[in-house]
Chains A and B, each alone.
Chain A
Amino acid sequence: MSFTGNAITCIRSDRVVFQRLSFSVKDGEILYLKGPNGCGKSSLLRIMAGLLRPTEGVLYWNEENISKSVDSFLGDFQYIGHQNAVKGALSVNENLKIWAEIYNLNKNNMSIDDALQAFKLDRLANLPARFLSAGQKRRLNLSRLSATDSRLWLLDEPSTSLDDAGSLCLKELINSHLERGNMVIMATHESSLVNGKTLNLADFVFNE
């Protein structure tokens, strides 16, 4: 399994965010996206997730062009963005369950309860999610990862508003995900959680 991008250029509202950027991730690898604010980390992750079309360049999943065979890629990755996709009127349990059902998770027989337990949310399972704090909402969103066996995780600043214990849970989760031979791409400002490659987006900024 591999996930690669070749000469990707991103233009947003007539501004070149980055140009001719290439990357490659293989089984068991983690790639950090780093760089100053506004250098296009989130845009790159949204391009990887297929939410944003790159202005130029091609993405490959297992050597196959994603724009031509998107079906084999969809469902094989999880995307964690800035927003937590948590519905206040639903309980913690129901919030996770709906994504588990839509993403056909639980292939690895990991129950919703186990996934919640990984982020210490099991005791809040029946609480309406509107009572959760920002950090707990983030934990709930991240628990989507541990309920899946998706090969690739695309994480956009996943440790935002997490406390130390939450960051530790995330680190353990990422470690075991990598040990199972899967891939992680993560935008972060913090020092690396786990050893891995770094892609500095500042190197691809357009200079006249």
Chain B
Amino acid sequence: MNAFSSLLKRDLRLAFRQGSDSVMVIVFFIVVVVLFPLSIGPEQKILARISAGVIWVAALLAAMLSMDRLFAADYEDGSLDLLVISPHPTEILVLAKVLAHWLTTGLPLIIVSPLLGVFLYLQADGFWVMIMSLLLGTPILSLIGAIGAALTLGARRSGVLISLLILPLFIPVLIFGVSAVDAALMGLPTRPQLLILGAFLLFATALSPWASAAALRQAVE
């Protein structure tokens, strides 16, 4: 547990000092969302209809953008070797890195998402559900993305490769995330969708550290 918090703190400190990754992800997220009203036109009804979907897809792409750096820096400077042969389970250390990644990219996305909701005429009923669905959904992106990041270590153009590997896996998350917001806008219960997202999150939390650690052990060979 000590090692978990040490590694978490180190990654947060690195992200804070280098800064560029988090800022890049948020700016990308905002720019992508802003492109939609510019291309579709300022029609209030159309924008309100697509707002949840646009925000979700943009969040997904923005999360992908920073994914390939998750293990790459440690891989390149030899830290990954030391993490794999440390006396702690690699799975725990993976979980610490994923949590740091979510705190530095996923959480800022959630914080700016209401602002973009206003921009796209998202109705007031949808805000809380959108934040809830992103709160459950973005950690899944980080967790599943970690498997892709570990598998593509050392590959050329790993960023593109990760997207191709991982984006199809996010389709269920996207479907339930967007449909939760749609249900709220139509005045229907949103609990089932949020519960399913919660189940996805639990499943990813159990599976991802294990799969990522196995891929990392392969990568250092």
Contacts and interface: CB of A to CB of B under 8 A. Distances in A.
Q: Which label, helix, strand, loop or mixed, suits the secondary structure of the A interface?
A: loop
Interface in B72-95: 73, 76-79, 81-88, 93
Interface stretch (A101-109, A162-170, A176-184, A198-206): A101-109
Q: Which of A82, A90, A101 has the most CB of B within 10 A?
A: A101
Q: Which label, helix, strand, loop or mixed, suits the secondary structure of the B interface?
A: helix
A79 to B, nearest CB: 6
Interface residues of B, number: 25
B144 to A, nearest CB: 25
Interface string B1-44: 01100110010011001100000000000000000000000000
B6 A49 contact: no
A35 interface: no
Interface in A28-83: 49-53, 71, 74-75, 79, 81-83
A74 B81 contact: no
A162 B85 CA distance: 25
Interface of B: 2-3, 6-7, 10, 13-14, 17-18, 73, 76-79, 81-88, 93, 220-221
24 contacts: A51-B85, A51-B220, A51-B221, A79-B81, A79-B82, A79-B85, A81-B78, A81-B81, A83-B76, A83-B77, A83-B81, A85-B82, A86-B77, A87-B14, A87-B73, A89-B14, A94-B13, A101-B3, A101-B6, A102-B7, A102-B82, A102-B83, A103-B87, A104-B3
